[in-house]
Amino acid sequence: MKNNPWNGTSFHNDVINLSYNELVERIGEPTYDEPSSDNKVQKEWQLMTDDNIAFTIYDWKEYERDVTDGDEVKWHVGYSGGTNCRKSIKMYLEKFGINVINDKMF
């Protein structure tokens, strides 16, 4: 889709460490709950901040595990843009009790 605001989002080392159930309780069911065609992502949420910044939350390459098993998952946060986008996303998710951390290991 040409005007899809989630096209072009990417990982910038920001992660959320929660179980699948905790994430669903806080932000609802995923936008996509079937694995991607390449099986790199099992679950993905497409979200929009109050100031219209599109972002995604998704598992990445959890091939050998069921991300809904109740264990904590390192969810990736994808977005386009820089520091201002990151701040807006963090503030938005904090309203749901979700802490975004920057994981420089990637």
- 25-39 pLDDT, tens digit per residue, is 999 999 999 999 999
Tell me which residue has tokens 């904090």.
94
Say if 4 falls within a structural domain: no
What is the pTM (predicted TM-score) of this model? 0.92
User: According to the model, what pLDDT value does residue 84 have?
Assistant: 87
Q: Identify whether 3 is part of a domain.
A: no
Does residue 25 fall inside a structural domain? Answer: yes
Range of the domain at 45: 10-102
Q: Where are the alpha helices (DSSP H) in the chain?
A: 20-27, 83-94
How many domains are there within the chain? 1
Would you say the C-alpha torsion 3, 89, 45, 66 has a positive or negative sign? positive
Is 20 a member of any domain?
yes
Q: Tens digit of pLDDT for each residue in 47-80?
A: 999 999 999 999 999 988 999 999 999 999 999 9
Banded pLDDT at 106 (limits 50, 70, 90): very low
The answer to whether the beta carbons of residues 101 and 14 sit under 8 Å apart is yes
E-assigned strand segments in the chain = 10-19, 44-48, 54-58, 72-79, 101-102
